[in-house]
Amino acid sequence: MGWFACPQLVFVLTLVLILAGCDKFSAGLTPPAEKITKAFPVSDEVAFAVTNYLESAKRDGNHAAASQQLDRLLAIRALSCTVSISIDRFDTPEDIRRKPVDSMCLRDQDAKIGEWIGIQRLATLLAKPPLVPATPLGAPTLLPAYEDTTVGITTAADSNVALLESTRGIFTAIRLPDGKVLQTFKGGDFNRTATALSPNGRIVLASEQSSRGLKAFDVESGALVWSTDKYRQITAWLPGVSALVVIRNAPQSGAVLLDLTTGMTSAYPTAERNPDWAIAVNGGSERQLIGGSGTAALVDHLRAPDGSLQTMVVSQWNLTRQVSSGKSGKPFMMADGTRAIYGFSSGLGWLDVATGDQGDWDLAVLRAKGFSKISESKIFFTHPASASPYRSEGKVLDIESSTLAPVTDYKSDAGQLISLAPRTGYMWRNMNTASVGADVELGEAQDLQQVLSKKVREKYERDVELGEAQDLQQVLGKKVREKFERADPPPMLTNVPADAQVAVIGVYEAKSGDRPAMAHSAGTVRITVTSSSTPLVLVLASYEPVHWLIENTAGRKISAVLLSGYYESSVYGAGDTQILRIGSNYSYRIDSQEYQELKKSVARYVSNPVRSFQGSYSGQHFTVTAF
């Protein structure tokens, strides 16, 4: 039977040949890069990022430019990964897929495209106006109750947006001053002390503790917009030139200027290799004061006519005091943007960026903390009260008149005072509530040096009575803790039942996996209390600062919590239970002299014997059962 005896078969074969020819013909008209991309499409993760980026660009009216740039990057990906193989003009995507293309190259190029998309989304968000317009905070406003206990706050410099940090690693973006929740970020392995909020309040940039990388989130949508393992920390936001100053990860390390328009980096010109703070300064072009523990530099940033980024160091200084680590020491601008104020171990240092003059206020004798800017000339702080070191007082330092004024509406049980720097204001935080504001009521101001001299003399006279007097001129510069408890013996607690169990838990520090990788930064130690009819007195002791989190779901009666430690710790979950700070002793070993000293401190408050002790150098979780 001949071919023409079966016309259906002839038709089918003819159709197949025509279609095959069409594929080849079409392939001949298709650019090689497009065929390669069809043969080896980008990963699903990058494809999702491309879709989201183009949708965002369309909303912002930038779709055409974004599409053009993506096409260029896809072409680079396709051609650079097939440079070693031959691709004919009429090869189809199916033909190319059978060729030995460099798969590692494709993965690397995918990562670069994903990185570029993230940086572009970052640049777009950074260029937008404030998410919430900035307005003065005024009188203190109570924040609503949130899902978890607030332990810290980060604010946007130019927007009424703040980021609350919790004991369980939850970050909540809120609107100031009413505290309305804008977004909640959960599940991250983030370093609380290295989390930043963009000046316009639209970007949360979080440093991961495990990988030491960075993740950027859109506050408005909650979406992850950028993830990188190249950098471990942001030092400065530069929205005026669409750039960031970031610290590279090992092994390179060091600060670089990241251009968000190109994704390219260049070395940063300051003497400090890894600067960890920066504040915007008036004048110049995107001028920043940027530095580390011992240096500061005034740097201008500008775009050249050809679009390149340029930096110019205006001035550099060696600071006369060492900037304290963590958020508590980071500088803020005062005196209408001419004077930078920073915390050091025993007070406040200052640098006049116009003249280069420097100085300090050594407040060691007051044991001041919580320094918060409330105006261009006034700083609010707290310190232990003279009458009782277990209560506190509020003071305001006027940097122009060098005076101290008492805060008359201060409540000693208000909790911890936390600065809202870089903006004006403060946050009060205790176990159950938090409030934000910028106003305080002041009493009569006194000369600062007279107040300090009086405190020094009182301390000297007290030590004379105890036989511990030192040279009077050396007392003010003393860096060890004042022995308040010896000068003013506390009364025994009267609310502790005779059968109460005294349980001691001691650590040197919180376990490193839960503690930020910063000097003397607090980690969390959980205390689970089991059911029992026997009342309990908890003694919690540590060298490093610790967030002690009590989990008492069974509702066991806790008569008191006695807190002791070299650095100041805090307690959460104790409800209405009385919490007393009993000194600086700590111990994590029952066979040590330190433990005996700790027991003596406890005995000054409760006559009940210690019934149980648990200790660990690095603690994370302890369970207190009935004895």
| DSSP 3-state of 575 | coil
Alpha helices in 415-506 (DSSP H): 448-466, 472-475, 484-487
Higher pLDDT, 21 or 270: 270
Tell me which of 299, 318, 337 is where a domain ends.
Answer: 318
Distance of alpha carbon 243 from alpha carbon 260, whole angstroms = 5
User: Cα 222–223–225 angle (5° rounding)?
Assistant: 130
Would you state the pLDDT for residue 521? 67
Mean pLDDT of 184-197: 79
Report the percent of the chain where pLDDT is more than 70.
Answer: 85
Looking at the fold, whether 218 and 288 belong to one and the same domain comes out as: no
**Could you count the other beta carbons within 10 Å of the beta carbon of residue 626?**
14
Model confidence at 17: pLDDT above 50:
no
Q: What is the pLDDT of residue 489?
A: 53
Scanning the structure block, which residue is given the tokens 């403060």?
426
Which of the four pLDDT bands, split at 50, 70 and 90, describes residue 483? very low
pLDDT at 475: 43
545-587 tens-digit pLDDT: 888 888 998 899 999 999 998 887 888 778 778 888 898 899 9
One domain, residues 107 and 154: no
In the chain, the amino acid numbered 551 is: E
Tens of pLDDT along 591-621? 888 899 999 999 989 999 999 999 999 898 9
Measured in whole angstroms, how far is the alpha carbon of residue 173 from the centre of its chain?
Answer: 13
Q: Is 259 exposed, middle or buried (0-12, 13-18, 19+ CB in 10 A)?
A: buried
| Percent of residues, the chain, with pLDDT higher than 90 | 46
Helix axes 103-126, 63-80, angle to 10 degrees: 160
Which of 167-181, 198-212, 380-394 shows the highest mean pLDDT? 167-181
- Any domain includes 344: no
β-bridge pairing 141-142 and 416-419? unpaired
- For the chain, the first-to-last Cα distance in angstroms comes to 101
CATH number at residue 194: 2.40.10.480
Same domain, 224 and 239: no
| Chain segment 82-139, per-residue pLDDT in tens | 888 888 888 888 888 888 888 899 999 998 898 899 999 999 999 999 999 999 999 9
pLDDT band at 512 (very low <50, low <70, confident <90, very high): low
243 falls within a domain: yes
Residues 213 and 102 in one domain: no
**338 occurs within a structural domain:** no
- Are the C-beta atoms of 404 and 446 separated by less than 8 Å? yes
pLDDT digit string, tens, across residues 51-80: 888 888 888 788 888 888 888 889 999 888
- Asked if pLDDT for residue 473 goes beyond 60, the answer is no
Give the least confident one: 24-28, 298-302, 392-396. 24-28
Q: 3-class SS at 15?
A: helix
pLDDT given for residue 535 in this prediction:
93
Lowest-pLDDT range of 134-138, 163-167, 512-516, 538-542: 512-516
Cis geometry, peptide bond prior to residue 422 (ω within 30 degrees of 0):
yes
Rounded to an integer, what is the distance from CA 272 to the centroid of its chain?
A: 21
Mean pLDDT of 184-193: 76
**CA–CA distance, 533 with 499 (Å, rounded to integer):** 10
Residue 151 β-bridge partners = none
**Which one, of 493, 525, 504, lies nearest residue 619 by Cα?**
525
Co-location of 610 and 527 in the same domain:
yes
**Residue 85, in any domain of the structure:** yes
Instruction: Determine, yes or no, domain membership for 430.
Output: no
Token pair for 132: 């919430």
Question: Which of 200, 229, 258 lies at the terminal end of a domain, its last residue?
Answer: 229
Claim to verify: residue 84 and residue 210 sit in the same structural domain: no
Q: Which tokens is 345 given?
A: 């171990």
d(CA 181, CA 166): 14
Residue 312 has pLDDT above 80, yes or no: yes
Per the structure, how many domains does the chain have?
A: 5
- For the ranges 89-98, 348-357, 476-485, which has the lowest average pLDDT? 476-485
Is the pLDDT assigned to residue 6 strictly greater than 60? Answer: no
On whether both 101 and 119 belong to a single domain, the answer is: yes
Q: Length of the chain in residues, anyone?
A: 627
In a domain, 395, yes or no: no
3-state secondary structure of 370: strand
Residues 6+ apart with CB under 8 A from 222: 183, 184, 185
Same domain, 43 and 154: no
Distance of CA 40 to the CA centre of its chain: 40
Checking if the pLDDT of 474 tops 50, the result is no
557 and 620 part of one domain = yes
Please determine, for residue 469, whether its predicted confidence score (pLDDT) is greater than 50.
no
Average pLDDT of every residue of the chain: 85
Position 431 pLDDT exceeds 90: no
Query: Of 180, 209, 229, at which residue does a domain stop?
Result: 229
The conformational region for residue 76 under phi > 0 = left, psi -120 to 50 = alpha, else beta, is: alpha
| pTM greater than 0.75 (yes/no) | no
Cα separation, 285 vs 301, whole angstroms: 6
The pLDDT assigned to 123 comes to 94
Q: What is the pLDDT of residues 202-250, one digit of tens each?
A: 999 988 766 578 999 999 999 999 989 899 899 999 999 999 999 998 8
In angstroms, what is the C-alpha Rg of the chain? 31
Q: Residue 88: what pLDDT?
A: 82
Asked if residue 28 and residue 103 are part of one domain, the reply reads yes
Phi and psi at residue 279, in whole multiples of 5°? -140, 140
Q: What is the per-residue burial (b if ≥16 Cβ within 10 Å, else e) of 562-590?
A: bbbbbeebbbbbbeebebebbbbbbbbee
**Is 60 in the same domain as 159?**
no
Q: Which residues contact 473 (CB under 8 A, 6 or more apart)?
A: none
Q: Does 336 reside within a domain? A: no
pLDDT exceeds cutoff 50 at 381: yes
Is residue 404 in some structural domain?
no
* Domain hosting residue 216, numbered range: 149-229
What local confidence, expressed as pLDDT, does residue 8 receive? 58
Strand-pair partners of 299: 288, 313
Residues 413-438, mean pLDDT to the nearest whole number: 89
How many beta carbons lie within 10 A of that of residue 604, not counting itself? 16
Q: Does 460 share its domain with 504?
A: no
482 has a pLDDT exceeding 50: no
Query: CB within 8 A of 59, min separation 6: which ones?
Result: none
